[in-house]
């Protein structure tokens, strides 16, 4: 008998003639159309963003390989893909040093420190994007068009404004560098046709996302509305290029379908109920973290195989609950349950005190914006109108605003001294913004005061400075218009805080909603 040499190794095993470098080169080529369009739309600086991101990724892996005396893995092209994806997920006007820090974090911390290609537990490019988004939040969400800071179409969409879906689809409406949906879809469909990425993931992500947007987005399954959401916030790039990463996605087809649906549903929920419009990255990160659990429990069974029947036939005892559910899962569940009960107890004990403090804060704000009043009383028409809203969004032209309370300020003689309307806008950069709008008996604005404002220090928080909020004082108009470039001259124009157009717009929307409520309820026959 002739001797044979057997090569025994652990999985995963190569089952295709395509090599890693070949796949990475194809991915890079598929991203070139989106890269070119992004550089043309965003200008020369965006080209340097791409080059800096890719160069930093490659050099970081090269240096790490040399220091640790590892094989030259930087040659496989995976670092190029990571650097390119990171660049395309950032604004074209972002400072180069932030791009370098993000690319360094992606390769060194997320990839190399965990063993290199195939060992990272989350997508390196996405992890880096979330890292710079948290570390440099204002810079990474500031988008420049012709040198002027502007909101993305997605922010305008969340604020209830009209958006140009065609421009979003083509990638000329502003946003991140890789915002051309037509280019990304063309590249992604080519990868799917070549079986480089799995359709179970990308298409289930899209279907799950659109389903949630249709159910909870507020406009049903209107095709234009769904297409606008699909064209913004990195959904297409995430579905075709981020979620389909081999290392951080499940192995089985059923697992991939489960994983894709999870990401799509989470992305839709974050979009509908989250404070940040562009939060799809976090949905994919969560999906990455669930991949090991999905691979553990979502396993295709071979034909005629039933694990329980085989165990019973072999006389094996039935596994206990502890053996079937891993101990770490049980521990985490218990810790979460205890922590939840503890937090609930603390909230219950402090709820009354918190509410009393909030009422006192509101009272101070009411007195500040309606100085002639010694008391504040309810108006039947206003109470009925607010109850009819049931906490829902007010109107269709003011973004996500809600009317919390509307009272009449009276003096010692019982005469009307003015009106105060509490309005909340959920379109702030870092969450809800609540203002108290004070009006005199004729409907002119006394002033506004903030009772809830958690914006970025030095940026959005400047809206609480007299330079911004005093612009409303003494004006009697139907509605205000925000000027992002500044230089207001008309009575209805308000200058935006530089670099904080999102916060400024939310405040203007809240004031406009309050003015509309005053005209509809108080000036229309209330009290």
Percent of the chain scoring above 70 in pLDDT: 79
d(CA 237, CA 29): 15
| Residue 187, pLDDT score | 93
Q: What are phi and psi of 427, to 5 degrees?
A: -100, 15
258 and 122 within one domain: yes
Task: Say which residue, 165 or 4, is predicted with more confidence.
Answer: 165
- Is 40 within a domain? yes
Helices (runs of H) and strands (runs of E) counted in the chain: 20, 9
Question: Residue 404 in contact with residue 394, Cβ under 8 Å?
Answer: no
289 and 363 within one domain: no
- Is 342 within a domain? no
User: Hey, CA dihedral for 89, 23, 29, 193, is it positive or negative?
Assistant: negative
Read off the pLDDT of each residue in 38-47 and give the average, rounded to a whole number.
89
The domain tally of the chain equals 2
pLDDT level of residue 363 (50, 70, 90 thresholds): confident
| Residue 83, pLDDT score | 94
Residue 89: other Cβ atoms inside 10 A: 28
- Is 458 within a domain? yes
375 and 278 within one domain: no
| Residue 526, pLDDT score | 45
Cis peptide before 12 (omega within 30 of 0): yes
The mean predicted confidence, pLDDT, of the chain is 82
69 and 166 within one domain: yes
Last residue of one domain, picked from the residues 273, 297, 321: 297
Which is nearest to 454 in space by CA: 426, 479, 496? Answer: 426
pLDDT level of residue 472 (50, 70, 90 thresholds): very high
| Residue 301, pLDDT score | 62
371 and 265 within one domain: no
Write the CA distances from 315 to 304, 309, 310, 323, 332, integer angstroms.
Answer: 19, 10, 9, 17, 33
User: Token pair for residue 43?
Assistant: 């200008």
| Residue 9, pLDDT score | 54
Question: Residue 62 in contact with residue 219, Cβ under 8 Å?
Answer: no
| Residue 280, pLDDT score | 86
Residue 196 has pLDDT above 70, yes or no: yes
DSSP string, 1-37: ---------PSP---SS--HHHHHHHHHHHHHHHHHH
- Is 81 within a domain? yes
171 and 74 within one domain: yes
252 and 390 within one domain: no
Q: Which of 3-12, 69-78, 476-485 has the lowest mean pLDDT?
A: 3-12
Category of 468 on φ-ψ map: left (φ > 0), alpha (ψ -120 to 50) or beta = alpha
Last residue of one domain, picked from the residues 297, 316, 341: 297
Residue whose tokens read 């506004």:
448
195 and 123 within one domain: yes
Its domain, for residue 490, covers 352-522
| Residue 148, pLDDT score | 41
465 and 361 within one domain: yes
pLDDT digits (tens, 9 = 90+) for 378-403: 999 999 999 888 878 898 889 889 99
Residue 355: other Cβ atoms inside 10 A: 10
Q: Name residues whose C-beta falls within 8 Å of residue 59's C-beta, 6 or more positions apart in sequence.
A: none
pLDDT digits (tens, 9 = 90+) for 393-450: 898 889 889 999 999 999 988 899 999 999 999 888 777 899 999 999 999 999 999 9
Rounded (5°) CA angle 176-425-411: 155
d(CA 202, CA 236): 8
- Is 527 within a domain? no
- Is 290 within a domain? yes
Last residue of one domain, picked from the residues 297, 321, 343: 297
288 and 414 within one domain: no
d(CA 233, CA 237): 9
User: In the 3-class helix/strand/coil scheme, how is 286-313 assigned residue by residue?
Assistant: HHHHHHHHHHHHCCCCCCCCCHHHHHHH
| Residue 488, pLDDT score | 87
pLDDT level of residue 323 (50, 70, 90 thresholds): low
pLDDT digits (tens, 9 = 90+) for 259-269: 999 999 999 98
368 and 447 within one domain: yes
d(CA 448, CA 504): 13
- Is 219 within a domain? yes
d(CA 348, CA 359): 18
d(CA 252, CA 200): 10
126 and 265 within one domain: yes
- Is 318 within a domain? no
Task: Say which residue, 253 or 330, is predicted with more confidence.
Answer: 253
Percent of the chain scoring above 90 in pLDDT: 40
Which is nearest to 527 in space by CA: 430, 453, 432, 439? Answer: 439
Q: Please provide the distance, in angstroms rounded to a whole number, between the alpha carbons at the two ends of the chain.
A: 105
d(CA 78, CA 200): 23
Task: Please report, for the domain that includes residue 43, its CATH number.
Answer: 1.10.3430
């Amino acid at each position: 008998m002739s001797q044979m040499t057997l090569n025994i190794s652990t999985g995963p095993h190569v089952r295709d003639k395509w090599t890693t470098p070949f796949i990475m080169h194809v991915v890079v080529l598929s991203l070139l159309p989106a890269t070119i369009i992004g550089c043309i739309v965003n200008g020369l600086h965006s080209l340097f963003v791409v080059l800096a991101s890719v160069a930093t990724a490659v050099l970081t892996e090269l240096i790490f390989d040399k220091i640790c005396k590892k094989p030259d893995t930087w040659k496989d092209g995976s670092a190029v893909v990571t650097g390119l994806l990171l660049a395309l997920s950032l604004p074209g006007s972002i400072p180069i040093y932030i791009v370098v820090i993000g690319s360094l974090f992606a390769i060194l911390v997320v990839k190399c420190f965990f063993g290199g290609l195939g060992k990272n537990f989350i997508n390196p490019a996405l992890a880096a994007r979330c890292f710079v988004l948290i570390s440099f939040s204002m810079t990474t969400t500031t988008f420049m068009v012709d040198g002027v800071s502007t909101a993305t179409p997605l922010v305008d969409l969340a604020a209830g404004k009209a958006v140009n879906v065609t421009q979003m689809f083509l990638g000329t409406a502003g946003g991140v560098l890789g915002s051309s949906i037509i280019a990304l879809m063309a590249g992604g469909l080519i990868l799917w046709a070549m079986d480089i990425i799995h359709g179970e993931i990308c298409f289930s992500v899209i279907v799950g996302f659109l389903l949630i947007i249709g159910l909870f987005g507020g406009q049903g399954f209107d095709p234009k509305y769904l297409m606008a959401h699909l064209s913004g916030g990195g959904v297409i790039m995430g579905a075709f290029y981020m979620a389909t990463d081999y290392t951080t996605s499940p192995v089985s087809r059923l697992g991939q379908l489960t994983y894709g649906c999870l990401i799509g549903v989470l992305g839709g929920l974050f979009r509908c109920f989250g404070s940040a419009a562009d939060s799809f990255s976090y949905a994919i990160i969560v999906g990455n973290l669930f991949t090991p659990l999905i691979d553990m429990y979502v396993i295709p069974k071979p034909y005629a195989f039933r694990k329980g029947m085989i165990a019973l036939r072999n006389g094996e005892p039935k596994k206990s609950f502890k053996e079937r559910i891993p101990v770490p899962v049980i521990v985490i569940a218990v810790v979460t349950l205890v922590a939840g009960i503890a937090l609930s107890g603390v909230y219950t004990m402090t709820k009354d005190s918190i509410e009393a403090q909030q009422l006192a804060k509101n009272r101070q704000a009411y007195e500040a914006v309606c100085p002639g009043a010694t008391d504040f009383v309810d108006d039947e028409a206003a109470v009925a109108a607010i109850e009819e809203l049931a906490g829902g969004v007010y109107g269709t032209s003011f973004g996500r605003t809600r009317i919390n309370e509307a009272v009449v300020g009276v003096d010692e003689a019982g005469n009307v001294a003015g009106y105060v309307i509490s309005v909340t806008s959920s379109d702030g950069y870092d969450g809800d913004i609540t203002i108290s709008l004070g009006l005199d008996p004729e409907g002119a604005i006394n002033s506004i005061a903030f009772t809830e404002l958690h914006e970025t220090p030095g940026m959005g928080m400047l809206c609480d400075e007299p330079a911004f909020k005093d612009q409303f004082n003494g004006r009697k108009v139907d509605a205000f218009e925000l000027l992002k470039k500044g230089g207001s001259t008309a009575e209805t124009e308000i200058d935006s805080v530089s670099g904080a157009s999102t916060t400024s717009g939310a405040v203007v929307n809240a004031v406009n909603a309050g003015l509309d409520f005053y005209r509809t309820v108080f000036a229309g026959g209330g009290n």
